[in-house]
Amino acid sequence: MKPITFTDANFEDEALKSNIPVVVDFWAAWCGPCKMIAPIVEELAGEYQGKVKVGKLDVDENQQTAIKYGVRSIPTVLFLKGGQVVDTLIGASSKSTFTDKITKMV
């Protein structure tokens, strides 16, 4: 399953109002570390389907949301629950780091 594409337009409805936890990968096409974690994000989207909403937000196309959450370096991954940021990862990380943070939210 592919990750959801978050945008400035749908972020409130898709991420903040979600009734399940949300993982948002802030990325850009030119970012090397973003490409490194992309396969992990895709795997997580499939593995947690129905339990956690996993998606990506392109910071070049959706600057409002990136600015709102103070994203200064990418990849930045936000873990949201009930519309609130409960955890953050900055930089490329291992799949186990992602799953540990997701397990704490579910």
Whether the CB-CB separation of 59 and 7 falls below 8 Å is answered with no
- Longest Cα–Cα distance in the chain: 32
Q: Judge whether 31 counts as a catalytic residue.
A: yes
Which domains does the chain carry? 4-19+27-92 (3.40.30.10)
Q: What are the Cα distances from residue 101, in Å, to 10, 30, 78?
A: 24, 26, 10
| Per-residue pLDDT tens over the stretch 49-90 | 999 999 999 999 999 999 999 999 999 999 999 999 999 999
Our answer to whether residue 34 is catalytic in this structure is yes
Catalytic residue among 4, 22, 31, 78: 31
Please tell me the pTM assigned to this model: 0.97
Catalytic residue among 22, 23, 34, 52: 34
- In terms of Cα–Cα distance, which of 46, 104, 60, 45 is closest to 80? 104
